[in-house]
Amino acid sequence: MHTTSFLVLLTLMLSFKSFGSREFKKIKLNQYKIITGQTSDGFQGYFSIIKNGLTVFEEREFGSYYYIKMKDVNGDKKIDLIMTQWTGGAHCCYNLTIFNLQNGMNKLAYIQGGSRGFQLKNLDQDESLEIIFWDNPIDYLFNSFSSSAQGKVILKLKNGKFRLAPKLMKSSINSKDVQEMRLEIKKEFRSDGEIPHSFLKLLMQLSYSGHLDFALRLAEELWPKSRAGFSKFKLEFSRALSGSVYWREFYLAI
Ligand SMILES: [Ca+2]
Ligand SMILES: [Ca+2]
């Protein structure tokens, strides 16, 4: 390309970048400026961390939206930056990045979540927050997305890194809840049509709290006698769980 044409094109591109975008949010944290927004064509979302006028971190992706929050995540009494990316799909996907912007820019966490968002809560006695999100190995496997169910995963900060927290995920069986759900499932589960959400929800709850064997026994009991395909369901369900990195690590740890 001729040098002059290149310079004209570059000028046009730069002016489009500066005038052709919408800022959604701009915050300051220590010596950093954090901006989220979208280019004027409406398709490219961006997230930038700027220090002294220079972009030190940036993510841009077509279709994505970036959301930011500030909170002390690691319990050092200093505010951290929490960024969630939604890739813009109807049911997928949410990704979480947590930055510590105290002494330079450090990533505390990057988690690829599934079809639902993230929660940050302190679930135990220490100072730091745990990350809660929903694993989705069976989304679309047995029925539509809205009837599917996800498994609750908890990550805990340990030696500077977020790791699976099997002790926080494991819980005892709540017999009263199980009995209530059992009655609901029996009403909804028919010999044809979709596998009910209530059934998958109960199995996922039990499987992600340490009770796969109980879940599979219950599934057999609740599966209508007039309905074919239980063995296939059981195999596919177990296979899907084994295919999940989080569930497999949880299962091996408990
Ligand atoms: Ca902090
Ligand atoms: Ca904690």
Q: 197 C-alpha vs ligand 2 centroid, how far in Å?
A: 31
Q: 177 C-alpha vs ligand 1 centroid, how far in Å?
A: 37
Q: 97 C-alpha vs ligand 1 centroid, how far in Å?
A: 14
Q: How far is CA 221 from the centre of its chain?
A: 32
pLDDT at residue 8, rounded to an integer = 45
Residue 113: pLDDT band (50, 70, 90) is confident
Q: 152 C-alpha vs ligand 1 centroid, how far in Å?
A: 25
Q: 51 C-alpha vs ligand 1 centroid, how far in Å?
A: 19
Residue 73: pLDDT band (50, 70, 90) is very high
Q: Is the backbone of residue 79 left (phi > 0), alpha (psi -120 to 50) or beta?
A: beta
Residue 5: pLDDT band (50, 70, 90) is low
Task: State what percent of residues in the chain have pLDDT above 90.
Answer: 80
Q: Which two tokens stand for residue 3?
A: 């040098």
Ligand nearest the Cα of residue 124 is 2
> What is the residue-averaged pLDDT of the chain?
91
In this prediction, residues 9-29 reach a mean pLDDT of 65
Instruction: Enter the pTM of the model.
Output: 0.88
Starting at the earlier edge strand, list the strands of the sheet with 44-51: 21-29, 32-39, 44-51, 54-62
Task: State what percent of residues in the chain have pLDDT above 70.
Answer: 92
DSSP strand pairing (161-164 vs 151-158): antiparallel
- pLDDT tens for 182-236 read 999 999 999 999 999 999 999 999 999 999 999 999 999 999 999 999 999 999 9
Sign of CA dihedral 204, 235, 172, 166: negative
Q: How far apart are CA 94 and CA 151, in angstroms?
A: 15
pLDDT at residue 115, rounded to an integer = 82
175-188 and 212-222 helices cross at what angle (nearest 10)?
30
Q: Which of 51-65, 103-117, 177-191, 230-244 has the weakest average pLDDT?
A: 103-117
pLDDT at residue 2, rounded to an integer = 52
In this prediction, residues 101-107 reach a mean pLDDT of 91
Q: 78 C-alpha vs ligand 1 centroid, how far in Å?
A: 4
In this prediction, residues 149-176 reach a mean pLDDT of 97
Ligand nearest the Cα of residue 75 is 1
All structural domains of the chain with their residue ranges: 175-253
